[in-house]
Homo-oligomer: A and B are copies of this chain.
């Protein structure tokens, strides 16, 4: 049995901690796939759209921004199915993280990450293809 067999969509209200202690602004513009997992103290601003695919895992303390007042950036964020975002990372507006990609912990992601690649750093750069992807 899989820990996600009993996965149910979380209840999400604008600016209110979910039961798992992460928070979303503008949840009407968030599309959250099944069997996703989001860590404590992660913040998502979905004003310009955030799509999180099935099985995506997001660590704790992450910032997922479809809008950044610093730099006047806006744009939909897409986290494709099965990708993983390490703890303490920031995803900037307009970024797509491809299917099955991994973003290392503590990364600042302001460019797309190709499907199946590991990317990390500040700013994040792809470092290698993940075996078996």
Tell me the A residues contacting B by CB distance below 8 Å.
Answer: 15, 19, 21, 23, 25, 37, 39-41, 43, 45, 57, 59-61, 63, 65, 68-70, 84, 86-88, 90, 102, 104-106, 108, 120, 122
Contact = CB atoms under 8 A, between A and B. Distances in A.
Q: State the number of copies, please.
A: 3
A19 B25 CA distance: 12
A86 B123 CA distance: 12
Given A41-B41, A43-B40, A122-B105, A23 B23 contact: no
A130 to B, nearest CB: 12
Given A106-B108, A108-B105, A90 B88 contact: yes
B43 A23 contact: no
